[in-house]
Structure 1
Amino acid sequence: MNKTPRQQKYVNKKRIIQCIRECSPVSRAEIAVKLRLSKPTVSLAVDELLQEKWIFEKGIGESSSQGGRRPIQLFFNEKAAYIIGVDIGGTKVKIVLCDLCGNIQAETGFLTSDYLQTGLLEQMALEIERLIARSPIEKDRILGMGVGIPGIMQTASGLVIEAPSIGWVQYPFIAEAKRFFNFPIFIDNDVNAAVLGEQWLGNALNKRNVLFIAVGTGIGCGMILNNQLYRGASSAAGEIGYMVTNKEEMLRDFKPAFHRYGYLESVAGGKAIGDHFTEAVRKNPHHYLFALAQSSQLSGADAFSAAASGDAAAIAVIHEAIEHLAYGIVNACSLLNPEVIILGGGVLHSAAYIIPRIQEIIERYLPSPAEMKTARLGENAGALGAVSLFLREYDGLLNSRDEEDH
């Protein structure tokens, strides 16, 4: 489809700001060469971008070999606008206020369970209001907000179909949020947001095929395939927690760890590891955690801590869980052939113990190799991912998708 001159001008301007973002400091002449655009076209767009304060210039270029005036260098202005990123988790809600390069300017958070009854959105609005009031950033410099939510949703309409850990069913999140916020809002599954964050600023930088596996209470997966976030036909792609890694157990009346949880997360998620460890300890009156296991459930963290000190029961439970997780990863990678697998979620605290064992299994069974790393953004992966989601979805100059992605 042929573009009108006005549309073409906008596309050029968008390409130029992307070039400055990625290559700054850069001169007008260098942009013209890199993007194969005429010098007048570049100059016109640069003048507009300078006026709109998206970029700034400094005369620090190298002089040419013939001597003469040094070219003026252009820089991206990361403080031109700001974005709010929210990661709504089953345990806590994390909120960050970022500049355009993902530098966190201010952050806050609160426990999810404290506000589930009284209204999570009201509390979010209150916290964001306080966050802005405490920072020197003017409210009109905030472009909008990205939100990661643990569940299945219609991203375009902003309807959360189901988010079991926070009890939302058919919840019109964006419609409700508009009562509190007057800027654009984009939502997605929390693990989808996290994979975008790792591709933007983390261990999946410059990778076009990425698998992000979050192992916490449950197990979720975010996928970038050919540089596109892959959501599936009904936005339910990546539910790796439903994979079956032992058909015998499925045939023996399998019971999920939580209502509506899948097989893999019921044998390899944090809750499952804690439950299986509790069972093992209760069978051994001589175990040092026997009394505790009689009165309460042990956690996944208890199991990892016991395994680190050489406890045989904990080691057996964890090895079993790791095997299931590794087989799930082998299945996913056989199908999707990612360049890198990023492991995130609560499991990060035990990554040094888990990753070598997973790698051993995937190297043995996987037809083509894939690099395995932990999430570089750690606890901030979800909130920074929500900022990245906003930048990808917001239809403005800074939209970070390739032109051919549209």
Structure 2
Amino acid sequence: MNVVRAFEHAFGFHVVIENDVNLAVLGENWQGCGRGIDNLAFIALGTGIGSGLMVGGNLVRGASNAAGEMGFLPIGADPFAPTSLRAGAFERVVATNAMVERYAALTGNIVNVPTIFHSALAGDRHAATVLDETARYLAQGIVAIAAIANPQKVVLGGSIGLRPEILLRVRDLLPRCFPYPIAVEASELGSRAALIGAAAIGLGQLHNKLFGVDAPDGRISLPPASSAVLREATL
């Protein structure tokens, strides 16, 4: 099925489809904590894990649009296991299911991720161990990106990545496994990052059509916008 053509037929105008984490890094670059940064990474950690990467001001997609598929990093679980071709070796040890399974192995109780965070704050040492191990794996993934692309800043998003308990642990771990500084911050736009990135692409496409500009797909060149107005519109 040609999804783009189907949407264009239904809507009656030009359509662009983009990965949600790629949109998030564009959103942070335009209106978030990555403003003015040409070398930027966005990592979304929640149910799964993925990343969007900008190098030299351009979005990196790769030969088959697989750039940033962090879940398939050969870290943590066995990358040659059949399951790793579906979920990814790294995703299997760092995302939601991994945290739930890790806590269940330690306590015998199956609880959701928000409960693990709440329990850790309440002094549950097993929950704290789960957060420690999750942050340790996440730090390894960040270092993998830094060793290849060397972004000026890494932005964390997603339901797990946004938690300050994870951010503080990761910041503490990174200097212990990478000799160069890596700036890591929580997403300024939160759950709206991808939506604002989509608005950036839409405005960029409109600009190109109106002025006959054939700009590279990965680079978004937009005039300054009112952050407050834009964020209010996306609520």
TM-score by length of 1: 0.50
Aligned counterparts of 2:24 and 2:196: Cα–Cα separation in 1: 7
Shift in alpha-carbon separation, 1:349–1:193, aligned structure 2, 3 A:
closer
Structure 2, unaligned runs of 5 or more: 221-235
Is 2:53–2:68's contact at 8 Å kept on the other side of the alignment?
yes
Does 2:114 match 1:301?
yes
**Alignment gaps of 5+ in structure 1:** 1-170, 283-292
2:201 is aligned to 389
Deviation by residue 1:285-316 (Cα, 9 ceiling, x = unmatched): xxxxxxxx3xxx42222211111111111111
Counterparts of 2:138 and 2:16, CA distance in 1: 31
Aligned to 1:195: 25
Aligned residue for 2:103?
277
Deviations 1:149-173 (A, max 9, x none): xxxxxxxxxxxxxxxxxxxxxx422
Match of 1:362 in 2: 174
Q: Which amino acid aligns with 1:193?
A: L
Question: Paired residue for 1:318, among 131, 143, 155?
Answer: 131
Q: Distance in 1 between matches of 2:140 and 2:191?
A: 26
Alpha carbons of structure 1 residues 376 and 400: separation in structure 2 relative to 1, 3 Å: farther
What displacement does 1:254 show?
A: 7.7
Contact preservation (8 Å) 1:264, 1:325: no
The answer for the alignment partner of 1:374 in structure 2 is: 186
Offset at 1:251?
7.9
Distance 1:324 1:214 in 2: 14
Aligned equivalent of 1:209, options 30, 39, 47: 39
* Structure with the largest fraction of helix: 2
Partner of 1:250: 78
Q: 1:207 to 1:303 in 2, by over 3 A?
A: same
Taking a change above 3 Å as real, the CA distance of residues 302 and 175 of structure 1, as seen in their structure-2 partners, is same
- Structure 1: distance between partners of 2:176 and 2:2: 45
Contact 2:162–2:187 (CA under 8 A) maintained in structure 1: no
CA–CA distance in structure 2, aligned partners of residues 251 and 233 of structure 1: 21
Amino acid at match of 1:215: L
Larger Rg: 1
Change (3 A) 1:308 1:389: same
Change (3 A) 1:387 1:229: same
- Same amino acid, percent of matched pairs: 31
> Relative to structure 1, is the Cα distance of residues 252 and 184 closer, same or farther in structure 2, using a 3 angstrom cutoff?
closer
Within the alignment, does 1:225 sit opposite 2:38 as a pair?
Answer: no
What SS does the corresponding residue of 1:343 show, helix, strand or coil?
Answer: strand
CA distance in 2, matches of 1:345, 1:228: 23
Alignment partner for residue 263 of structure 1, among 89, 102, 105?
89
Q: Secondary structure at the match of 2:93?
A: helix
Query: What is the RMSD computed on CA atoms of the aligned residues?
Result: 2.4
Structure 1 counterpart of 2:5, from 167, 175, 179: 175
Aligned residues: 216
d(CA) in 2 for partners of 1:266 and 1:278? 15
Alignment of 1:344 with 2:185, yes or no, is no
Counterpart Cα distance in 2 of 1:309 and 1:172: 50
TM-score (norm 2): 0.83
Higher relative contact order (CA 8 A, sep 6+): 2
The change in CA–CA distance for 1:363 and 1:315 in structure 2 (over 3 A counts) is same
d(CA) in 1 for partners of 2:170, 2:134: 10
Deviation of 1:349 after TM superposition, in Å, equals 4.8
For the residue of structure 1 that corresponds to 2:188, the secondary structure is coil
Query: 8 Å contact 1:215–1:343 — kept in the other structure?
Result: yes
